[in-house]
Structure 1
Amino acid sequence: MENIIRALRNGNTPEHGTSKICVGRDPEIEEFNRQLEYVGEGNAVTKFVEGQYGTGKSFLLKVIEENALQKDFVVSNIVITTDLPFNKPEELYKKVVQNLKSKSEDSFEDIIKRWLTSLKRKSTGESTDLLEQNQIVKEYIKKELEEARKYANSFAVAIENYYEASNRGDYDIINYTIAWLKGDLTIPSKYKKKFGVKGDVTRDMAFGFLKALTLFVRSINYKGLVILIDEAEFIRNIRRNDLRQMAYDNIRYIDEACDKRDFKGTMFLFAGTDEWFTDDRRGIPSYQALYDRITDPLHSQGQYTDLKKKVIKLEGLTKEHMRELGKKIAEIHAHVYKWTVKDGINPILEEVLKIHERKASLTGGKVTPREFIKAFVGVLDIIYQNPYTIEKEDILGLFEEKVEEEEW
């Protein structure tokens, strides 16, 4: 659990264990669990999460990732950056494959290896002859790649030849094949010829490969593929209008393809700041074809809760939720560093919540958790290390100082 405290101390989302400290998001999590059930039946959905900086978008995506993994989905969690501006589908495919993980595997290659191992084990129950076992495995591979082959034949051919190379112990071809499947554009032609492909995963081929990937994942007994795309507001920073429009058109295409079930068993979830959803010049409203698909025709956002819409708006947490969060963090901190959280922490927690509300200058009883969490962990660190010399007033003063250090 120390990884949780270390991440929170630095203002980051923990890599594991986010569900242990998640508060105030039960309706959203319940809705996404329903969406996962729907996707697990072979359907596809596109959803968007909107929220101010610090409201917990990345945190919610991490909770969804953990839930999806537990439900036997394969997950890829990616961030839009200069390396992935989203106007290049081939880079999207590359990032998705590079970040693939399942409940027990941490990479695309591990997922393939586990699948092939299960097929080999299955073949031993059907024959004791090694040559026959090999042929049985090849037949299983061909059958389970049948649907994926319809969208990207070379995707299927590469996996088939990966198996052949594994049998021969040809590690060069094994590594080159995986690299090519992951979108590497630098594989020499002479090696690509050895595993049966030509060219690379180009812009025109990328979405076909992504669809093949989703079908492959389902064919090897996972529930489906969940693709989490964070910091989507970065698209606004693409300077050239034509490239920015291409990025938005790619999102439109994904949304439309999900509605048409061109993707099978797939969830795309985009998270971005409020500006991404409202900026007429560079945000989603600047591309009418996408804006029309995802906007609320009733314009009811903020008036009524409706989690069935394409866009889910995250609000700040209530003071009651922040209190609950503070107690959870204190308990984990005490467990990790083996100290006792005294009853006195509760009135102190009430005071620090008041400071947080005042400094944030927020209205409506809603507060953003990120800065509070970072400052609160810092205060817990000091209390833990100075248990006999620090007074309540000093603690509150420290919290106020740490809050002021953050850029409100």
Structure 2
Amino acid sequence: MSLSPQRRLEIIDALRRGTVPRTSLDAFAVGLDRFEQALDEELRKAAGGGGVFKAVRGEYGCGKTFFVRWLADRARKRGFATSEVQVSETETPLHRLETVYRRLMERLSTADTLQGALRNIVDGWFFTLEEDVLAEGQVDADDQAALVKRTSELLEQRLAKVTATAPMFSAALRGYREALAEGDQASADGILAWLSGQPNVAAAAKKVAGVKGDIDHFGALSFLQGVLLVLRDSGHPGLLLVLDEVETIQRVRSDVRDKSLNALRQLMDEVDGGRFPGLYLVVTGTPAFFEGPQGVQRLEPLAQRLYVDFQTEERFDNPRAVQIRLPGFSIERLTLVGRRVREIYESHASDAGRIRERCNDDCIRQLADAVTGRLGGKVGVAPRIFLKKLVGDVLDRIDQFADFDPA
């Protein structure tokens, strides 16, 4: 695939730091084509108003984060909004759904806004509402007061189902719209922050919208319903939400662990029950989380919902199953990834010929062997280290120093 200099720089910079790029992962994805058809079917299901739940399992270093970002990239290309939430014991405990909601909103992304996209989404939604109001032919485009009034009425109609369980969601949106119309940017910003689940919002801003307190555990799910409705109305077919590293709940106290597992079961049931049309929920974890005594197996109803028989050969795994496993890296696959990264690097290098000559296929294979050898042959934990060394220790030096030869 053709990459712009900016995209190429983002990929190379991320690999140089040892992190996973957030976009254009198709450029060097290897071994994921087996999942494409099933995942695209599920994205279409979500886009059609359905709900999808997917569990992704794999050992540390097998590429779970890469996989979900690759999937998110595909979703954004189809118009979805996406959000990736890292579950942790302290910052984002899974049983505190209000915190999960806040992180979701902080990391909300679209194709043109890679983080903090709520404002653009909400503004786009109000623009759509205004267009619908003007299309009715009952309000003059120059009558700002009448336009705001009718837009607020239409807002209430569109959010009627959500308002029944979370009246403050529509109240906050209405307050945000009115604050903007009156030029009160500070209040508008505060209301949007409150709508995002942020704590410690100024009382003055909340008073403008007629809301009180903060979003709680139960309100978070109702607000998520509202967000999905706004997304769909503003041209986004759905939301792909990733809960990454859920295995961290194995390290918390047993009572907190049980609450977290129950929250996961609740989310899964709500998705299956149709409460969140357009939501594609993905969770990632290690095999120990799905099969061990401190993970999913502690809650029998959840274990039954997530059960998949992985006793057959890996090549016969069903990509449509509720739980899928990622294959580990082989030396051959690692080398192929390295070759693709080299192609990305040389596409905008100062001397592409020198890059290709001195970092040839044999050089990449030798580096892969050396890295996995130092790690005791554990290819699964090698990809990030390998790619970091390939970019930082080999490609960068060849590019900058004419007499450097890694051989």
Work out whether the TM-score is over 0.5.
yes
Aligned AA (1:92): V
Length, aligned pairs only: 389
Conserved 8 A contact 1:326-1:376: yes
Conserved 8 A contact 1:49-1:269: yes
Conserved 8 A contact 2:394-2:406: no
Conserved 8 A contact 1:147-1:216: no
- Which residue in the other structure is 2:285 paired with? 272
- Which residue in the other structure is 1:193 paired with? 207
| Residue in structure 1 matching 2:14, options 2, 7, 10 | 7
Q: CA deviation at 1:298?
A: 7.2
SS in 2 for 1:77: strand
Q: CA deviation at 1:123?
A: 4.5
Aligned AA (2:266): Y
| Residue in structure 2 matching 1:103, options 93, 108, 111 | 111
Q: CA deviation at 1:323?
A: 2.9
Tell me, yes or no, if structure 1 residue 119 matches structure 2 residue 134: no
Q: CA deviation at 1:70?
A: 1.2
| Deviation sequence 1:139-160 (CA, Å, 0-9, x none) | 3323332333233111011101
| 1:366-381 mapped onto 2 (5 Å cutoff) | 368-377=382-391, 378-381=393-396
In 1, the alpha carbon distance for the partners of 2:64 and 2:15 equals 15
- Which residue in the other structure is 1:227 paired with? 241
In 2, the alpha carbon distance for the partners of 1:215 and 1:137 equals 16
Structure 1 residues 31 and 136: CA distance shift in structure 2, 3 A: same
SS in 1 for 2:240: strand
Tell me, yes or no, if structure 1 residue 94 matches structure 2 residue 102: yes
In 2, the alpha carbon distance for the partners of 1:196 and 1:358 equals 63
| Residue in structure 2 matching 1:339, options 346, 351, 365 | 351
Q: CA deviation at 1:248?
A: 0.7
| 1:4-403 mapped onto 2 (5 Å cutoff) | 4-81=11-88, 82-105=90-113, 106=115, 107-121=117-131, 123=133, 126=137, 127-130=140-143, 131-238=145-252, 240-280=253-293, 282-296=294-308, 299-300=311-312, 302=314, 304-340=316-352, 341-343=355-357, 345-362=360-377, 368-377=382-391, 378-390=393-405, 392=407
Higher mean C-alpha displacement, 215-224 vs 42-51: 215-224
Aligned AA (2:356): K
In 2, the alpha carbon distance for the partners of 1:367 and 1:77 equals 22
In 1, the alpha carbon distance for the partners of 2:93 and 2:313 equals 28
Structure 1 residues 301 and 261: CA distance shift in structure 2, 3 A: farther
Q: CA deviation at 1:93?
A: 1.2
Structure 1 residues 140 and 326: CA distance shift in structure 2, 3 A: same
Conserved 8 A contact 1:54-1:371: no
Conserved 8 A contact 2:310-2:317: no
Q: CA RMSD in A?
A: 2.4
Q: CA deviation at 1:68?
A: 1.0
SS in 2 for 1:229: strand
Aligned AA (2:127): T
Conserved 8 A contact 1:232-1:271: yes
Q: CA deviation at 1:181?
A: 0.6
- Which residue in the other structure is 2:4 paired with? none
SS in 2 for 1:227: strand
SS in 2 for 1:78: strand
- Which residue in the other structure is 2:5 paired with? none
In 1, the alpha carbon distance for the partners of 2:80 and 2:69 equals 14
| Deviation sequence 1:317-375 (CA, Å, 0-9, x none) | 34443332111111222234322223451222233333345444448x98852222122
TM-score normalised according to structure 1 size = 0.87
SS in 1 for 2:91: coil
Structure 1 residues 330 and 69: CA distance shift in structure 2, 3 A: same
Q: CA deviation at 1:28?
A: 2.0
Conserved 8 A contact 2:133-2:150: yes
Structure 1 residues 380 and 297: CA distance shift in structure 2, 3 A: closer
Gaps of at least 5 residues in structure 1 are 393-408
Aligned AA (1:87): H
Q: CA deviation at 1:224?
A: 0.9
Q: CA deviation at 1:383?
A: 2.9
Conserved 8 A contact 2:172-2:191: yes
Structure 1 residues 339 and 152: CA distance shift in structure 2, 3 A: same
